[in-house]
Amino acid sequence: MSENNIKIEIKNFSFYYGQKQVIHDLNLKIHKNEIMSFFGPANGGVTTLLRSLNRLFELNHNTRSEGDILIDGESIFDPDASVTELRRKVGMVFEIPTPLPLSIFDNVAYGPRLNKKKSKDEINEVVEQAIKQAALWDDVSDRLRAPAMSLSGGQQQRLCIARVLALKPEVIILDRACSGLDPISTAKIEESLTKLKKQFTIVIAPHNVQQAMRISDRAAFMLMGYLVEAGADIFTHPQDQRTDDYITGRFG
């Protein structure tokens, strides 16, 4: 894989909550236009790592990191880097859907409207495209002015994905975004992610190993803050016995 195809490079990255180290000297490259899954048992460091990719951890005091994370070859920790621009570029969808107390349309339009240069027609176009990309258009096209809270849980989560897409990101992070959803909603989100990787790099903490197997181009197994192994064939030919034990349900 050429260096030109690297979207994110994590270099000697460690993370601490107070005195407790929760990620240990992690090194990994994430390719453009792939779905990269991070999985492992609770307290493995996956959520912390995902929130480090757009510096969300900085919202939590008494934390610090060592090492570096590069996006397109540039450090996200550069003193001149804009955190606001980083979080637009690296959008995040959380485990619990968090629609704003607005209409379906206004939820998706909220971010683009902050860009005062966009006309009403441009915003309408961005909203429609984002909702279609999130595989929600067929469900809501005739009721865009209805309250977002009137949607089902699965629809709300796809709305949150649309809200991220409306900001024109380059990377989409999903932290167990399907964990509370029914199988049909989960399947719709997985199908849309498979299509979206043609345009975006997707980093996901799947809600179980089976989901990681279904949608990942590559996957990484984390245990107690350590990266055990990563690769495209991690589920069929794991190199470490701990990975095999976890995948087959012998622990975790």
Kindly report, residue by residue over 139-184, the tens digit of the pLDDT.
Answer: 999 999 999 999 999 999 999 999 999 999 999 999 998 888 889 8
**How many H-runs (helices) and E-runs (strands) does the chain carry?**
9, 10
| Residues with Cβ within 8 Å of residue 10, at least 6 apart in sequence | 26, 27, 28, 29, 30, 49, 67, 68, 69
What pLDDT is attached to residue 2? Answer: 58
CA geometry: angle at 43 spanning 39 and 47, to 5°?
60
Do residues 104 and 148 touch, judged by C-beta distance below 8 A?
A: yes
What pLDDT is attached to residue 66? Answer: 96
What pLDDT is attached to residue 102? Answer: 97
What pLDDT is attached to residue 252? Answer: 61
What pLDDT is attached to residue 179? Answer: 87
Q: Which two tokens stand for residue 242?
A: 């701990």
Is the pLDDT at 38 greater than 90? The verdict is yes
Tell me the sheet residues that pair with 17: 20, 63
> DSSP of 22-56, one letter per residue?
EEEEEEEEEETT-EEEEE-STTSSHHHHHHHTTTG
H or E stretch covering 217: none
Is the pLDDT at 3 greater than 80? The verdict is no
Distances (CA, A) of 119 to 22, 27, 103, 115, 245: 45, 43, 19, 9, 55
What pLDDT is attached to residue 59? Answer: 78
Distance CA 244, CA 234 (A): 9
What pLDDT is attached to residue 116? Answer: 72
What pLDDT is attached to residue 246? Answer: 94
What pLDDT is attached to residue 249? Answer: 87
Model pLDDT for residues 197-215, shown as the tens digit of each residue: 999 999 999 989 999 999 9
Model pLDDT for residues 224-244, shown as the tens digit of each residue: 999 999 999 999 999 999 999
Model pLDDT for residues 44-89, shown as the tens digit of each residue: 999 999 999 999 988 778 899 999 999 999 999 999 999 999 999 9
Distance CA 50, CA 47 (A): 5
| Residues with Cβ within 8 Å of residue 16, at least 6 apart in sequence | 22, 63, 64, 65
**Domains defined for the chain, CATH in brackets:** 3-247 (3.40.50.300)
Model pLDDT for residues 96-138, shown as the tens digit of each residue: 999 999 999 999 999 999 877 788 999 999 999 999 999 999 9
